[in-house]
Amino acid sequence: MNAKLGKNRAMRLRPDVTVVSRIFAPEPAAASFRLEALVKALLEQRAAVSVLTTIPAPGTDRDARAQVETQTGAGDLLHVQRVQAKRDETGYIRGYLPYMSFDIPAFFRLFCAPSPRVYVSEPPPTTGAMLRVLAALKRRPYVYYAADIWSDAAQTSAPGWVVRELRVVERFALRGAATVIAVSDQVAARCQELGARRVAVVENGIDTEVFTELGPDPLPVAGLSADEVAQTDWLVYAGTASEWQGAEIFAEVFAEIAPKFPRARLLFLGQGSSFATMHEIAARLEPGRILFDQVSAEQAAAWQRQARACLVSIKPGQGYDFAYPTKVLAGLACGTPVIYVGAGPAAADITENQLGLALPYDPDVLKMALTSVLEGRLRSGETRKWVQEHRSLRLTGQNAARVVLARIRH
């Protein structure tokens, strides 16, 4: 017994894996889900894990913990440290100063901490670049988890000099990694073009134990009663809404058709730079037709179960045409069809498997689709079954953990 306790203390002092990310569960975001799945899978392999991340954003339970922190036995092998970082007015850590507010203190915290056997970093590239320097000083490898290529995305909105600087930083982060985990073949190809030495593809998944067809009803929002929630035809957008998603198209089109469907409401759950525009659109309508909130993953799942359709968009030409939004999988796992607007590989899955509608980024086409949904004419296949068979987050975590553990055994 004492030997076991001694081993556990030693693992907590010197972890096998240290995860460094500005975002982690319970903050609802694709990166959070992805990293928590990785940590769960590492713990299942009895790897000792430390996580350095930030305190959750305002609007979420700032004392909440990730599910993985509460699972049986995790305390022996897992340590999560949460620190303050600068957030923008939407609550998001976005921009060089906010990134630096996490990266620079993280460097010194990690430098003074016991060295793990391998580090894992999530974008932004500034964190990956910081970790390359740290890992070199510590003589340890690191794995870079590339969900997308930031310098490609920046080309659509940032000045040329910013894109060039970001490209340099991103190349530096990718080239130094012992392995890069890419979420798709398209991202993997770009990582290799930018100098990554070794790339493994691990597709995104969704937690099918949180995002379920059956579960509690959503908590009422904006003063609505439980009866009003139940009697409403909901359209739900759950997740980040920034310029590259172009989610304001849903607010604009809904504002046009709202008078025809008095029982319908549009709910945006999350944060991002597009929320200001969407609030302006909502102000044109009578109060309560377009609503906004920030909720836990469990409540996001409850709202998506309640919805007639879940809404997802990727605005073409913004540098994210290869992205596969986790929002798609979340809605499908809840048994709800998805209305997908714009570019990206998710469109093919939705069309080929009858998981909803995949549309061009066109307000007129979207108007017809939302009308069809609210008139009850949308039909879909077995959405949850498809996710369980093809895009379970548990499988994603296990595949990513194999990549990380391979660097320990290398």
Strand pairing partners for 200? 181
| N residues, the chain | 410
The secondary structure of the chain in percent helix, strand, coil, rounded to multiples of 5, reads 45, 15, 40
* 118 within domain boundaries: yes
Q: Which amino acid is at 49?
A: V
* 213 within domain boundaries: no
* 2 within domain boundaries: no
231 with 364, same domain?
Answer: yes
Share above pLDDT 70 across residues of the chain, in percent, rounded to a whole number: 94
Helical H runs in 139-260?
Answer: 150-154, 160-176, 185-193, 226-231, 248-257
Domain extent, residue 77, equals 17-205+392-406
396 with 385, same domain?
Answer: no
More confident residue, 354 or 163: 354
pLDDT of the residue at 11: 45
More confident residue, 132 or 318: 132
53 with 105, same domain?
Answer: yes
Tens-digit pLDDT profile for residues 65-75: 777 787 756 67
48 with 185, same domain?
Answer: yes
More confident residue, 408 or 409: 408
Tens-digit pLDDT profile for residues 27-70: 878 898 899 999 999 999 999 999 999 998 776 665 667 777 87
Average pLDDT over residues 189-197: 96
Tens-digit pLDDT profile for residues 97-134: 999 999 999 999 999 999 999 999 999 999 999 999 99
pLDDT of the residue at 96: 85
364 with 291, same domain?
Answer: yes
Is residue 3's pLDDT more than 60?
no
* 220 within domain boundaries: no
pLDDT of the residue at 33: 87
Is residue 7's pLDDT more than 50?
no
* 216 within domain boundaries: no
CATH code at 182?
Answer: 3.40.50.2000
144 with 259, same domain?
Answer: no
Q: How confident is residue 305, by pLDDT bands cut at 50, 70 and 90?
A: very high
* 60 within domain boundaries: yes
Tens-digit pLDDT profile for residues 346-361: 999 999 999 999 999 9
Compute the distance between CA of residue 132 and CA of residue 409 in angstroms, rounded to an integer: 20
200 with 76, same domain?
Answer: yes
* 173 within domain boundaries: yes
* 331 within domain boundaries: yes
255 with 193, same domain?
Answer: no
- Domain count of the chain? 2
Is residue 1's pLDDT more than 60?
no
Which of 87-101, 131-145, 373-387 is most confident? 131-145
pTM: 0.80
23 with 36, same domain?
Answer: yes
366 with 398, same domain?
Answer: no
Q: Spell out the residues 6+ positions from residue 78 whose beta carbon is closer than 8 angstroms to its own.
A: 39, 43, 48, 49, 50, 51, 68, 69
Task: Give me the chain's average pLDDT, please.
Answer: 91
399 with 301, same domain?
Answer: no
163 with 88, same domain?
Answer: yes
